[in-house]
């Protein structure tokens, strides 16, 4: 028997679910959110994009994020393994106007802030409660079965179900909708440190993307002298080795730039690894059903798009849900606009990510051209501004052409080892 009178049930309390619940609750909709874990909980995906900041302002949560004291991020830089080549893309130099900074966050705290904001906005939030089954019927409504930490089960009903369960992808797995991307079969091995070398002033929060023969590293400065570092590479690049602490530490020692950054630093978290397989789902919608954020698609994290796709998807989904509740039409076709817009958005970044794994593409990022404002266009894309903008798309097409030419003729200096490693993979 249902214990709630919700109009919308949301699965998952990560950024997608929390933002969607807050957005709808602030519009006076009755929302229930179920999160199977108790917050705060650890999560990776710590570097945000400037384009998310206006959405946080619209949601009314930016003051809470500012009070949390997260480090401000004004740029992204690409670095060669030996540290001799570094190219900084300051968001203020982008081709399009927009926020010139973002946040570097510890996700445990960031996600908690968003979830608590959803509750304060009027959403009913239940932590430690897992959705274990669901049914969506176009005529009859949504029915979900939930189980609490003690193992007690009950049934809840609503008009619409939104799956924001992250990479668990609850609904997509149940419905057989998820498709892995064979070109982006990667994993990540990572940890946190204190005492790592970092820049000062406006550059302190820069994310560094370090290009090595095996793949790439993120180096993300966080508040309180903590730094997140992780390697993303393919399983084939391991050559039979395990992605364990010994492997992780050896890769740092063998990479001059990283060795300099982390020499004398103290690791303050166990070394962890996670499969980083990119995927899409055949559909983001169904009768009375929407998939949002990582529950619908996951892209390799090299350009820090994960949280923004979740937040933007939540805004788009909230608009579609609001229209459906207003006109009482809940069939899948009612949500087609949401699906179309999100697929275009994700496709733009997926193409850019796939290009990054080609050595000739990454070499261009280290030696960008100002001709036709190419560097400014890339900067806007790295900030999340301009996806779908004709001028950005046109310049990206030129950039892709230059990368193709760079593969055949040496338009830029080569990165030692990356081409040979790519050929082996």
Query: Mean pLDDT, the chain, as a whole number?
Result: 92
Q: Alpha helix locations (H) across 328-385?
A: 336-356, 359-366, 374-383
Check residue 419 and give its pLDDT: 63
Domain match, 63 and 150 both: yes
Domain match, 213 and 330 both: no
C-alpha to C-alpha distance for 22 and 65, rounded to whole angstroms: 15
Domain match, 354 and 378 both: yes
This model's pTM is above 0.75: yes
Domain match, 215 and 143 both: no
- Which of 275, 290, 312 is the last residue in one of the domains? 275
Q: Which two tokens stand for residue 163?
A: 């799956």
Domain match, 251 and 157 both: no
Check residue 424 and give its pLDDT: 56
**Enclosing domain of residue 384:** 348-424
Q: Shortest CA distance to 24 belongs to which of 6, 3, 38, 40?
A: 6
Q: Which two tokens stand for residue 195?
A: 């005492």
Which residues in the chain come in under a pLDDT of 70? Answer: 1-4, 276-277, 417-425
Does residue 386 sit in helix, strand or coil?
coil
- Assess whether the previous peptide bond of 40 is cis (omega < 30° from 0): yes
Domain match, 110 and 242 both: no
Q: Shortest CA distance to 15 belongs to which of 203, 294, 240, 232?
A: 294
Residue 149 counted as domain residue: yes
Contact status, residue 117 vs residue 25, Cβ threshold 8 Å:
no
Q: Which two tokens stand for residue 71?
A: 């480090």
Domain match, 196 and 334 both: no
Contact status, residue 226 vs residue 192, Cβ threshold 8 Å:
yes
Domain match, 45 and 137 both: yes
Check residue 1 and give its pLDDT: 34
Domain match, 31 and 143 both: yes
Interior angle at CA 147, CA 143 and CA 150, nearest 5: 160
Element (H, E) at 298: strand 297-298
Domain match, 23 and 135 both: yes
At 314, which CATH number?
A: 3.50.50.60
At 214, which CATH number?
A: 3.30.9.100
Contact status, residue 43 vs residue 20, Cβ threshold 8 Å:
no
C-alpha to C-alpha distance for 273 and 270, rounded to whole angstroms: 10
CA atoms within 13 A on the CB side of 72: 14
How many domains does the chain contain in total? 3
Q: Which two tokens stand for residue 108?
A: 């445990």
The residue behind tokens 């050929």 is 423
- Which of 292, 320, 345 is the last residue in one of the domains? 345
Does residue 147 sit in helix, strand or coil?
strand
Supply the Cα-derived Rg of the chain in whole angstroms: 22
Residue 91 counted as domain residue: no
For the chain, the 3-state helix, strand and coil shares in percent, each to the nearest 5, are 45, 25, 30
Distance of CA 89 to the CA centre of its chain: 19
Domain match, 52 and 115 both: yes
SS3 of 172-220: HHHHCCEEECHHHCEEEEEEEEECCCCCCHHHCCCEEEEECCCEEEEEE
C-alpha to C-alpha distance for 312 and 342, rounded to whole angstroms: 9
């Amino acid at each position: 028997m249902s214990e709630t009178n919700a109009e919308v049930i949301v699965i998952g309390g990560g950024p997608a679910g929390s933002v969607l619940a807050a957005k709808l609750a602030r519009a006076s909709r009755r929302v229930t959110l179920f999160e199977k874990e108790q917050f705060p909980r650890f999560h990776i995906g710590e570097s945000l994009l400037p384009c998310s900041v206006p959405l946080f302002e619209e949601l009314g949560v930016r003051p809470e994020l500012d009070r949390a004291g997260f480090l401000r991020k004004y740029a992204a830089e690409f670095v060669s393994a030996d540290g001799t080549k570094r190219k900084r893309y300051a968001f203020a130099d982008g081709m399009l106007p927009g926020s010139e900074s973002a946040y570097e966050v510890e996700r445990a705290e960031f996600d908690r802030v968003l979830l608590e904001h959803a509750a304060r906005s009027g959403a009913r939030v239940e932590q430690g409660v897992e959705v274990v089954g669901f049914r969506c019927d176009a005529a009859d409504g949504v029915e979900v079965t939930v189980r609490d930490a003690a193992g007690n089960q009950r049934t809840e009903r609503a008009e619409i179900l939104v799956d924001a369960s992250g990479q668990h992808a609850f609904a997509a797995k149940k419905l057989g909708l998820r498709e892995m991307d064979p070109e982006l079969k990667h994993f990540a091995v990572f940890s946190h440190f204190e005492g790592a070398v970092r820049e000062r002033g406006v550059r302190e929060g820069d994310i560094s993307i370090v290009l090595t023969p095996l793949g790439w590293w993120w180096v993300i400065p966080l508040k309180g002298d903590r730094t997140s570092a992780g390697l993303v590479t393919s399983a084939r690049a391991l050559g039979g080795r395990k992605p364990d602490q010994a492997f992780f530490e050896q890769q740092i020692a063998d990479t001059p730039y990283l060795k300099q950054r982390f020499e004398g630093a103290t690791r303050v978290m166990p070394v962890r690894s996670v499969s980083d397989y990119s995927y899409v789902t055949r559909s983001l919608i169904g009768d009375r059903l929407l998939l949002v954020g990582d529950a619908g698609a996951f892209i390799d994290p090299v350009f820090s798009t994960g949280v923004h796709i979740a937040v933007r998807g939540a805004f788009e989904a909230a608009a579609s849900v609001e229209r459906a509740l207003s006109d009482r039409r809940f069939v899948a076709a009612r949500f087609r606009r949401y699906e179309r817009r999100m697929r275009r958005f994700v496709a733009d970044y997926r193409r850019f990510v796939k290009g990054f794994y080609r050595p000739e593409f990454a070499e261009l990022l280290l030696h960008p051209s100002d001709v036709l404002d190419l560097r400014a266009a890339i900067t806007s894309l790295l900030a999340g501004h301009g996806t779908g903008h004709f001028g950005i798309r046109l310049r990206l097409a030129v950039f892709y052409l230059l990368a193709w030419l760079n593969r055949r003729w040496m338009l830029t200096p080569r990165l030692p080892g990356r081409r040979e490693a790519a050929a082996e993979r």
